[in-house]
Amino acid sequence: MCLTEKGHGKEITCIYHGWSYDLAGKLTGVAFERGIKRQGGMPPEFRKEEHHLHRLRVGEVSGLVFGTFSDEVENVETYLGPLVVSGIRRVLNRPATIIGRSTQILPNNWKLYAENVKDTYHASILHAFLTTFRINRLSQPGSINIDDSGGNHFSQAKMDYAAEDAEYKAQQLRSDTDMKLADNSIIDPVDEYGDQVSVQILTVFPNMVLQQIRNTIAVRVLRPRGVDKSELDWIHLGFADDDEDMTERRLRHGNLVGPAGYIALEDGCVGGFVQRALQYNDDDSGIVMMGGHDAESQTFRASEAAIRGFWKKYRALMGA
């Protein structure tokens, strides 16, 4: 119904037959309702008020609006659980603003990306940039926090910001690879939350991610586009009280993620590798035993607990 991704329209008009609706979903106009020259058109018993759009139930948490077509599902805070709600409120702790967005097509089924953002231990293997510049290493203090359903979670990694600042001032970054930065501002951090969390990745089942990586904050929305294709929308956020320096910092740190991000570009292709392999091995099963067999919160991150949580939730909904 609405083909524009942003803006401030006053109505929604269907491009197929020209029916128009207000922003509450009420039918306000029907093209050729009276016909042409009194011929055709809608019959006398037709009533616009009987044909509004299918309405969504909505709920809001820290400025994020969630919607559902179900009249039976619990309210959003109950659905998320208090643990994950606290993770959202930690990051979005004041009024947010949109500072940018991008979209990419992933060459894989949506569930592979859902696994990816719940997989905490691949980051130190796949993403050399993360480990080289100590943005996220498994040796850093951290945790995996999973709601009771298994479907929603957030993981955290902490760093010593004071030690990092000293290294940046000396322009000597500890490195596990030969990669160097000519401009350290691309990752120069500020501990804006005062808790030393360098990375927090939060997922809402089935298709939303809220990230904080250093000072880049973004909502990711995943949309299935076929058995072997997904669309990933990135909405980059700042806060209403950010000064120019912080906005600039967030935009610089935003280069870490997105379609060509120093970190995320690898996630954009690795799912395609798995997708291609599955066509030859579709009858086999995956192994997700890292960190045990349960889908519960853990104080370490060398684990696939959150992936097991995803499949716990998925199987419950599918009746498996």
Residues 155, 277: one domain? yes
Higher pLDDT, 128 or 170: 128
- Asked whether residue 86 is domain-assigned, the answer is no
pLDDT at site 256: 92
Boundaries of domain holding 9: 1-55
Residues 18, 101: one domain? no
DSSP the chain: ----SS---SEEE-TTT--EEETT--EEE-TTTT-BTTBSS--TT--GGG-PPPPPEEEEETTEEEEES-SSSPPHHHHHHHHHHHHHHHHS-S-EEEEEEEEEEESS-HHHHHHHHH-SSSHHHH-HHHHHTTSS-TTS-EEEEE-TTSS-EEEEEE--HHHHHHHHHHT----SSS---S-GGGT----TTSS-EEEEEEEETTTEEEEEETTEEEEEEEEE-STT-EEEEEEEEEETT--HHHHHHHHHHGGGSSTT-TTHHHHHHHHHHHHHHHTT-TTS-----TT-S----BS--S--HHHHHHHHHHHHHHT-
Residues 9, 110: one domain? no
> Is the separation of the CB atoms in 262 and 107 below 8 Å?
no
Q: What is the CATH number of the domain that holds 4?
A: 2.102.10.10
Percent of all residues in the chain with a pLDDT value above 70, rounded to a whole number: 94
Q: Quick: pLDDT tens for 171-222.
A: 444 445 777 888 888 888 899 999 999 999 999 999 999 999 999 999 999 9
Residues 45, 150: one domain? no
Residues 121, 32: one domain? no
- Asked whether residue 141 is domain-assigned, the answer is yes
Q: What is the CATH number of the domain that holds 245?
A: 3.90.380.10
pLDDT band (50, 70, 90) for residue 282: confident
Residues 98, 245: one domain? yes
Residues 209, 312: one domain? yes
- Asked whether residue 113 is domain-assigned, the answer is yes
For the sheet containing 142-146, what is the strand order? 96-106, 230-239, 216-224, 208-213, 197-204, 153-158, 142-146
Residues 29, 118: one domain? no
Q: How many domains does the chain have?
A: 2
pLDDT at site 25: 92
pLDDT at site 31: 95
Residue holding tokens 């951090």?
189
Judged against a pLDDT cut of 80, whether residue 170 lies above it is answered with no
Residues 104, 224: one domain? yes
Judged against a pLDDT cut of 50, whether residue 131 lies above it is answered with yes
The overall pTM is greater than 0.85: yes
Burial class (CB in 10 A: 0-12, 13-18, 19+), 180: exposed
Residues 25, 167: one domain? no
pLDDT at site 172: 47
- Asked whether residue 97 is domain-assigned, the answer is yes
In whole angstroms, what separates CA 228 from the centre of its chain? 19
- Asked whether residue 82 is domain-assigned, the answer is no
- Asked whether residue 72 is domain-assigned, the answer is no
Q: How far apart are the first and last CA of the chain?
A: 34
- Asked whether residue 293 is domain-assigned, the answer is yes
Residues 33, 103: one domain? no
- Asked whether residue 75 is domain-assigned, the answer is no
